[in-house]
Amino acid sequence: MHLARIPRRRYTAGPTPLEPMPHLSRALADELGGAGPELWIKRDDLLGLTAGGNKTRKLEFLVADALAQGADTLVTVGAVQSNHCRLTASAAVREGMKCRLVLEERVPGSFDPDASGNHLLFGLLGVERANVVPAGTDLHAAMEAIAADLDAQGRRAYLIPGGGSNALGALGYVACAEELMDQTFEMGVAFDRLVVASGSGGTHAGIVAGLHGVHANLPVTGISVRAERAAQEAKIHGLAQEVATLAGVATPVPQDAVVVEDGYVGPGYSLPTEAMVEAVQLFARTEGILLDPVYTGKAAAGLIDGVRAGRFAPGERVVFVHTGGAAALFAYRSVVASAVPTGGASA
C-alpha cells in the first residue's frame, strides 16, 4: 500500500492505545463457567480533535484535500447528535476554517435545540449554521445548496459525506489497520477476531481493505447500527474495494471478508436497547471505559452477546475497535444512568 503519497493532516500525536480488558473478560468468563475469550480494545476514542473518535482519522485525509482545493468552509451532514459533525467542526477550528452542518432528524421529534451532548459542542465550536432537515432529505443536495450560497459570497465550500465515509476518508482506517498490525508485532500479541461498529461504512470498509492489503488474515465482524445485513454487506464490500484500489492494493477484496451482524440495531438508528444499556454500564463498571449509546454501545452489545453465545471460542483473542462518541452519552442521561447510592455523613 502507498498511503505516503496521499496528502494527510495529522491530528493525533501517535498510535492510539491497544489494551487488554481483563476485568470484562473475567466477568463474562465467569458467566460461562470460567472459560471465555480474551478481550482487548483499540482506543480510537482517544484520537485527537475535540473529544476524539473514529472520524478524526478520516478527516486527516479529507481536510488535507479541502485545503489543497483552497476551501475555507467545511460542510457536512449527520444525525442531530452526530460525532462526525462535532469532529468536522473541530477540524475546521484547527485549520482556521468555518463549518456548516446539515442535521438529519432521523427519528421524528428527536431534535432539541437545547440538547446537551454533541449539539452543545456544535455551538461551543463555533459552527456557523446548522440546518435541521427531516429524515429522507436529499442530503447531498442540501449541502450543494449551502455551497452555492457560500460561492455567491465569494467563499469556497468543501463537501464531506456523512461520516466522512467515501474512499478518501476511509483511508484513515487503512492507516489504522497498518497501525494495529504494527502494534501486534511490537507487543507480541496476535488476534483471532476484530469487532467494530458498522454505520456509514468508512471505518468498517477501511479496516477490511487495510487488513487485506497487509495480508493480516484477521476476520472482521461489523455490528450494524442501522442497516440490514445484506444491504450493509454490499455497501461495505463496494467501499472496501474502492478504498483498496485508492490505497494501491493489487488484489480484489474477497466478498467473504465483509461480515455484518444486524441483530443489535433494535427499533432503529439511535434508539436505545436494553442490550446497549447493559453494554455501556458493563464497560464502565469493569474497565472504566465510556461507550456511546448509538454506535459503540450497540457494537459492544454484539461483542458481549457473541461471547455469551459461544461465537468466540475460549482462549481466542478478540479486539474491539472503540470508535468513540461518548459525548453523546450526556444526551441519553435518563436512559443509561443509574442513581448513585448515597448516605449520611460519616464520623
Which is catalytic among the residues 25, 82, 165, 270?
82
82 is catalytic: yes
Residue type, 46: L
Q: Is the Cβ–Cβ distance between 198 and 225 less than 8 Å? A: yes
- Only one residue has cell 432529505, namely 137
Q: Positive or negative CA dihedral for 152, 157, 163, 168? A: positive
Buried b (16+ CB within 10 A) or exposed e, 89-128: bbbbbebebbbbbbbbbbeeeebeeebbbbbbbbeebebe
Nearest to 78 by CA among 327, 340, 343, 344: 327
Q: Are 54 and 164 in contact (CB under 8 A)?
A: no
Lookup: cell for 219: 476476520
Cα 276 to its chain centre, rounded Å, is: 16
What is the rounded CA–CA span in Å between residue 324 and residue 289? 10
Query: What angle is formed at CA 239 by the lines to CA 236 and CA 244, rounded to 5 degrees?
Result: 120
Q: What is the set of active-site residues?
A: 82
